[in-house]
Amino acid sequence: MSITLRGVTKQFGEFAAVDDVNLDIPSGALLALLGPSGCGKTTLLRIIAGLETPESGQVLFDGRDATSWPIRDRKVGFVFQNYALFRHMTVFENIAFGLKVKARRERPPAAAIRRKVQSLLELVQLDWAGERYPAQLSGGQKQRVALARALAVDPEVLLLDEPFGALDAQVRHELRRWLRRLHTELHFTSIFVTHDQQEAIEVADTIVVLNRGRIEQTGIPGEVYDLPRSAYVHRFLGQVNELRVEWREGRAYLGPVDISSDPALQPGAGLVALIRPHEIDVVDESAGWRATVRDVRVIGPIVRLELGAEGRPPSEPLEAEISRERFDIGRFHVGQNVGVRFRRWQIYPADAVLVSDAAA
């Protein structure tokens, strides 16, 4: 089922949680709503589910206006961060719930319900757990039960609110891959909310970055990461170094690095360059901006260096990420003098960066 949002706005008192959002979600998409807490992503998800009513705007399901449809008619499966499993029911009863509450003439016979629940249990790899109660399951298992329960009523849209937020890293990684696989197999439209950019990049086909109830950028993961359209998006998707653009005698510099050839420069304006750690090269002392290695962290295949650059306040070190191979060749150590080079940077107005600071 395709979903279209047209001018959707939701106010909580004075506060606009969702502010004039327009979005087209094609059928079969796996979409992430990404943003910090308070950006309106959960409210938007709840509006799609029918758990909140927007003040203005429309929600279209397959082109039909579904804005005032009650939640039970929307064919959406909703999975909460805290799973919301029914504590007093077994796993089996939880999954069967949506089938058992159907009106008598739509309700499948008991044997069919049993078969369906059994197949869902197998799908989520919990066929041994049917008679268990939620209290007896781990977080990851509960999450899979919640998914199976939502899938039992054959939803056309699956909505997930911070689905992996409460799980530890290993389980989260497994569940992400599992969800992707499930999505490819079952072909429904999935929308999930997350504040974790890595999760969004790893799982989604499309990422929608939200800021203060508005959409900042929509795109495929690589695009949003590599071509952020605003400083806010740039900062939110991954680590950045921030350097103020300094003007000397009509030329623009980052530290001692002349960037006057950058077409994005607008003379006179307060500008800031954002540089990701992996866009920094660490070279010989003589070949770049002089800096001192202050810290070295080997993180598996990459190495993170903290660099005190000359002329920059010690409280604002540059962070560089280099490959393990490069590190092994350079043999960098704390206290060593090196040179810093920027492979890539992006220029934004300085106040835009400050605004996103306040929002984060």
Interface ranges with other proteins (CB under 8 A) = 49-51, 70-72, 74, 76-78, 80, 82, 84, 86-90, 97-98, 101-102, 132-136, 146, 149-150, 152-153
Residue 150 or 203 with smaller CB distance to other proteins: 150
187/163 Cα distance (integer angstroms): 19
Taking the CB of residue 357, how many other CB atoms lie within 10 A of it?
12
Query: Of 132 and 214, which CB lies nearer to other proteins in the complex structure?
Result: 132
Spacing of C-alpha 264 from chain mean position:
28
Nearer to other proteins, 102 or 343 (CB): 102
CB of 81 to other proteins, least distance (A): 9
Measured distance between the N- and C-terminal CA atoms of the chain, rounded to whole angstroms: 33
Token pair listed for 303: 């190495």
Minimum CB–partner distance for residue 98 and other proteins (Å): 3
Q: How far is the CB of 128 from other proteins (least distance, A)?
A: 12
Residues contacting 14, CB < 8 A, separation 6+: none
Q: At its nearest, how many Å lie between other proteins and the CB of residue 142? A: 13
Nearer Cβ to other proteins (107/343): 107
The span from the CA of 256 to the CA of 244, in Å, is 12
CA distance linking residue 59 with residue 173, whole number of Å: 32
User: Nearest approach, Cβ of 117 to other proteins (angstroms)?
Assistant: 13
The smaller minimum CB distance to other proteins, of residues 11 and 292, is found at 11
Give the span between the Cα atoms of 4 and 188, in whole angstroms.
15
* In the complex, minimum distance from the CB of residue 136 to other proteins, in angstroms, rounded to a whole number: 5
The distance of closest approach from Cβ of residue 35 to other proteins in the complex, given in angstroms and rounded to an integer, is 21
Q: H helices of 194-291, where?
A: 197-203, 221-226, 231-236
Nearer of residues 58 and 82 to other proteins, judged by Cβ:
82
Is the CB of residue 40 less than 8 Å from the CB of residue 212?
A: yes
- With beta carbons less than 8 A apart as the criterion, state whether 199 and 225 touch: no
Residue 349 beta carbon to other proteins: minimum distance, rounded to whole angstroms: 40
* CB closer to other proteins out of 149 and 276: 149
Cα 194 to Cα 259: distance, rounded to the nearest angstrom: 36
Angle formed by the axes of helices 139-151 and 110-123, nearest 10°: 140
Nearer of residues 50 and 288 to other proteins, judged by Cβ = 50
242 sits in which H/E element? strand 241-244
Alpha carbons 10 and 21: distance in angstroms, whole number: 10
- Cβ proximity to other proteins: between 124 and 293 the closer is 124
For the chain, the maximum distance between any two Cα atoms, rounded to a whole number of angstroms, is 83
How far apart CA 156 and CA 30 sit, in angstroms, is 12
Least distance from other proteins to the Cβ atom of residue 68, Å: 15
